[in-house]
Chain A
Amino acid sequence: MKLPIYLDYAATTPVDPRVAEEMMKSLTMDGTFGNPASRSHRYGWQAEELVDIARNNIADLVNADPREIVFTSGATESNNLAIKGAANFYSKKGKHVITAKTEHKAVLDTCRELERQGFEVTYLDVLPNGLIDLNVLESAMRDDTVVVSIMHVNNEIGVRQDIEKIGEMCRARKIVFHVDAAQSAGKTPIDLAELKVDLMSFSAHKIYGPKGIGALYVRRKPRIRLEAQMHGGGHERGFRSGTLAVHQIVGMGEAFRIAKEDMDKDRAHIVALRERLWAGIQDIEETYVNGDLEQNVPGIFNVSFNFVEGESLIMALKDMAVSSGSACTSASLEPSYVLRALGLSDELAHSSIRFSIGRFTTEEDIDFVIGQIHNAIDKLREMSPLWEMFKDGVDLNSVQWAAH
């Protein structure tokens, strides 16, 4: 067993050995190293062919046309291109954008930039399980709304939004609908021939591909237009200039091909491990699952252990690589904005841990982790004045705390 045990697959995944092997074939002199934009010789043609194959594999996973796939450097760039590109292009129609408070920073910060450019942005509240209330979304839609951007699966709590219904609502009003699918592609079926999604962001490194490569799906029918954010040689039909990174693209294509092939197998494996983990720790008192255990991807499992502080918990869980819902790097500790948006108290938000399980996690890993969690929680609660007060029946909300 390799320590620390890696349970941070939502942050990134190791590259699948099958993917790495393919990538290595397009780097060196004896490989396909050419520039796919070179039209005058075989090196270029061969590289272009590899890019086409990858593009087909990516389109296949989500049932799209390969001509609808635009390569970018990752989901952050895809989100930037989609939201700013569409908002800018359609700004004559209106300057209102809708998103949610629990979106990834790549969406929220892009929306902030649009606000600086004169757009108005509505940040939707979410329900306590993280889902968007479609009535709230509907009442936020206006005649001047040009873009709605809602993530498919949340990176912190794993909750899966109903993009089918949201798509219908947007299409009926001719609003461009963008979906950040960085955490969902390859983990849950996506059918873009059926879904009324206009733009969708993808990342390779969340599904066993390399970092530094992603894609944006841009619908052709009805045709969605974007203002390019990167200018140059007019690559990717003018949407995104820059020489194509063939080895990265090959890696992403292979990762998406495997994801489609292994989706059911991966899913069954991960569901079983998530259930094993939950069964092993749910007897710990004052333990809460954040998000929704039904409408989610099983690989992301977010739990709060009340009366234990997140950073000390991470220290106690030193033999596993997990993420904490709080970042205690400044005098005032900042709990996760996603968990706060669910309405969690500061204490519960501070005491949350995200376990993200993946293709290479084993039962042995999970069993080891269960034991470590029990030891850590016992030790820290023994040391926690809040736990002592809770056990004495003190209502912590009635205590006059001195904020500092």
Chain B
Amino acid sequence: MAETQFRYIAKKRRAKEHRRFVAGSGRFVADVALPGMLHVALVASPYPFARIRGIDAKVALALPGVSAVVTGADLAAATEAMMSGLDAPKLKRYPLAHGMARYVGEWVAAVVAESRALAEDAAELVEVDYEPLEPVVDPEAAIRPDAPVVHPEHGSNVLFRHKWTWGPVAADFAAADDRLSLRARWHRSSTVPIETFGVVADWNPASQLLDVWASVQMPKYPDQLARALRLPGNAVRVHFDVDVGGSYGVKRGLKHSILVGYLARRLGAPVRLVEDRLENMRGGDAQGPDRIFDIEAAFTKDGIVRSLKIRALDDCGAHAGRAPLQLGKPVGAICGPYRVNSVEYEAISVTTNKTPQEAVRGFGQSPTNFALETTIDRIAQRLGMDRIALRRANLIRAEEFPYTIPSGSTYDSGDYHAVLEKALTGADYAALVKRRDAARAAGKLAGIGIACCLEPSGGNSAFEPLFNPKNETTTWMEGCSIKVDLYGAVVVTMNTSSSGQGHETLASTVAGEILERDPETIRVVRADSLGALPSNSPVGSRMAIMLGGAAAGAAKKLKAAIIAIGAHKLGATPEEVDYAEGVVRLRGDPARQVSWEGIAEIAHRKFHELPPGMEPGLQAQHVLEVPTGGALPTADGRVQMYPCYAFETHVVYAEIDRITGQVALGPYLVGHDCGVMINPDIVHGMTYGGVAHGIGAALYERFRYDETGQFLSGTFMDYLLPSAHEVPDIKVVDHCTPSPLTAFGQKGSGEAGYLGAPAAISCAVNDALVPLGLAVAEVPMTPALLSDLIARAKKTG
């Protein structure tokens, strides 16, 4: 599908939503202020593991302006435990710690007062009597039989452990010319949006309705909130017209919302909780994957990778959260973009006394990509082969698509070799090599990183049944509706909030494309959760595919109705007319036509001119299933979760300062193929931002705990986000292999950049360390880590 065939898609177009943001008139959750609103502050556990013997709130409650102090016992009595996603019914999780505090920062009590400042004052007056317990901090220690158990009623720290074998792994290993093994470590980081999570709830006793405004990006959020609050779903109305200040996966805040919903009902007043930064990083339950990979690879002497054994041990923190399932998404791209005959994958999820995880951009795919690319580089090193030649030899070839990998997922389309060549050309790889070699000759530590990575997108959430057979989720649908009013104005309704992905631009561009109407004239609104069609929020790089597809589906139905009305007015059949830019003309006699406005007026006023059987008004809706449908995993765990696979090749040049260990990056180039880009500026922007996020994960960002479980990274001075000084000028070279499965050939791109940057930067740093005989398979490669390594190498070398 050539991009030139489109009228509005794939063209430069200003983002519809951005005018309000540059004017400073976005409406974020902290901007929602209701009369009589009360504010929440939290009492957090100072211990990683402790029994709560008692909570004394008398002094706090005596402070004027304080309305309530609530504890875990209140919440456990009045709400349902949150669902873990696993078949582990004894794992109970409530918004406030109940009986036991399981990590530093876990909320033990909530204080409600007339202002946030007053609530914070009162929180300091709440006295909690703790009996400290021995914590478990290290994930490998946590699976030993003598380890302290974070959830004694569950009986062990192991939440999930399963080994899948896809294809003849043992035979491939036995027949291989060579084998190697390695350990790769992805330390705990997250997406850390600049806006923290916030929620406002207001209970109306007369209508028995809970109104909720939240900075949320969470599938099934209204359903889960209602369930936890023991309310019918139609008694909770989530307002999706709240602008969300970044999320990239983590803005779920279900525990915050249950707490605030409970308080609003109990106190009969609107209640607001907006995390401060420490609450966000420590007790917001939004940290990310924390993973140890042990990998074995079997390959031929020519560098053909035949088989992989991957063991991934993930430290999920004190509650399951989304952590175990983040081991599931990578099943859909378990061998990356490479032809690998067989794969064994063991996924282990363990609890420790740390902050729980939330879904992080890529849902576990970026750590997996880092581990895979590290393996590829080690094989090249072992064989003395060029890293790029090894990749070329193993990449799936363009003519092999659709291509099914051993774990049962079929990759839709791609031309990986073309993207790799474009990236090398765009980066002027030969010149980079010269530059690196000259820098090395001058005594510098210089390296080039290459990474080839996949972005699975638009999935049906079938990792849920893969990890919990009692959960038969196989659809992750998205809805959209479009109406044309009496005078011809178009309104597109979407059914979820957005956190920077430009969905109003996406939906209006797609509707405009199909209806041949200028997207600038189309308004996009968001239904609240009671008015909404079934939809699943912007997770898993799905909205171009799913909202784009749903908007296209609705627009096509609407267009068919318009053509039917116009044809009927002209005394013709729909097959005898043409549609262009909203006007219906009789084929062969185009002077006979019905205008857009004329059709809208017939639909809204003139039932007598409507085709028989047609409903009045001019509207259509469409709920789209994932393009590859939904089927349960097979007994051996083969599954198609994601329909579309975008591909990216990163080429990055790096120099390491020998003294400080600081890594200077750039030039940085990404060759990217996500099919047809509905809005190129939006795709490029997410790619640049994804690289920046990946630079953080590769070099700076780490939630640190000491050996006793104390949390050490609760501020932006301890947890370092890349600034404009650390992020180099990034160039993107586009390639377009349309997906055969989607409305316009589009694929997902919301995780672009992030899925390859840590792998590429790690590769560059390792290349730079080759002259010292050093290798690092651990991110983040912080300045401290690198400078210590280099100093030690000097001493021993």
Chains A and B belong together in one complex: no
Binding site for A on B (CB under 8 A): none
